[in-house]
Amino acid sequence: MPLGAFRHRDFRLFWGGQLVSLIGTWMQSVGQSWLVLELTGSAFQLGLVNALQFTPILLLSPVGGALSDRWGKRRILLVTQAAMMVQAFVLALLVRSGHVRYWHVAVLAVIYGIGRAIDIPARQSFLTDLVGRPDLPNAVALNSVVFNSARIVGPGLAGLLIARFDVAVAFFLNGASFIAVLAALLAIRTEGAPDPAGRLGVRQGLIGAVSYAASTPAVAFTLGLLVVVSLLALNFNVVVPLIARDVLNEGAQGFGLLMSSLGAGAIAGAVGVAALRRGRPPLSLLAGTGAILCAGVIVLALAQHFVVAMAVLAVLGCFQIVFSTGCNTALQLTTPDALRGRVMGLYAMAFAGMTPFGSLLIGTLAERLGVRAACALGGAAGLLAVSALVLVARRRSI
């Protein structure tokens, strides 16, 4: 059934609440990047803020996964979503008061990252509780549809509001948008109770998850691909604002449109995956889409016109979703229930947790060599790394 996940009441509530909230999240993402450039004008400092925001995900996502295997996932999500709502309102008030400084943005980015580190593994593993394993591939794809629908609407809307008013509006609306997802979570009946076998101490749980991943070749290969592609190719929060400002000479509205193009391609990919994917995707698909993403970043470095950049970003958005949903689904369908939260913590660490290093790397290269050179070098290194992983996998007959 193409939309089998929608048969489940609690998934429909969860999906609808996220649609509203994620629009606000993308508005804040655009607003934060533009605010840093307004305050500092520095590519390196933009990369540093992104690094600070994602470092907690690198360090704490496995802990978040262990917590979601120990306590109810719905309860964890209520706490994390409320914390991120407060963070958005504080940032909005600082900007509106005129007292905002770069260090404020950096500290609040860390706080937001801590919330995300606990939230991501719980949210990802909650999908199986909401729909069951047979409808999980469809639920993961539909979750990507809502995420990327928000990526289309949020950045474009943020660009218009920032140009018409100021960045504080984007932060205020993000804070308000969390009301929808909190209301949905309160209405959901599924608690996401952990498997009794997963009720371990945090330290013991982390050791078990790492041991399982290391001893399961398909899981290790998938996590390795996520690390490489996330580190070297998926740094759009740093790359796109720099391309908009330094290469295409665009303002906040142009930046928002570029980010919306990325989202438009992503939602096209997500709809295709939701309609067509059945079961666990082959590892060859994951490797192939990862290589295409790295090659696409090299093509983006060559784009000289706004429309061409929009088209390239749309293609990148499409393949990013095919890659990320494929990795997500493969890991969840391979992993036993008792380990699912902790393995999704490793997924978050490999996928979003590499962003600090990628952001700093791309920001530093762009500061010294220009954003075009940074994109080209990152994409080329990514292609080499994906090729190396594939060669190792073939030798081990994965």
Q: What is the CATH number of the domain that holds 144?
A: 1.20.1250.20
When divided into structural domains, the chain yields a total of 1
For the chain, give the number of residues: 398
List the alpha helices (DSSP H) in the chain.
9-40, 43-68, 73-97, 102-131, 136-164, 167-187, 202-215, 217-232, 236-242, 252-276, 283-302, 306-334, 340-351, 355-369, 371-395
Domain that holds residue 39: 4-395
**What is the pLDDT, as a whole number, of residue 191?**
84
CA dihedral 348, 352, 356, 357 (to 10 degrees): 90
| 2 DSSP 8-state letter | T
pLDDT tens, position by position, 348-373: 888 877 877 887 888 888 888 888 99
Residue 390: CA atoms inside 13 Å, Cβ hemisphere, count?
15
| Nearest Cα to Cα of residue 378 among 392, 366, 393 | 366
- Residue 71: count other Cβ atoms within 10 Å of its Cβ: 17
**What is the pLDDT, as a whole number, of residue 266?**
82
Burial label for 1, CB within 10 Å (0-12, 13-18, 19+), is exposed
**What is the pLDDT, as a whole number, of residue 217?**
87
143, 329 contact by CB (below 8 A)? no
Parts of the chain with a pLDDT under 50: none
**What is the pLDDT, as a whole number, of residue 235?**
85
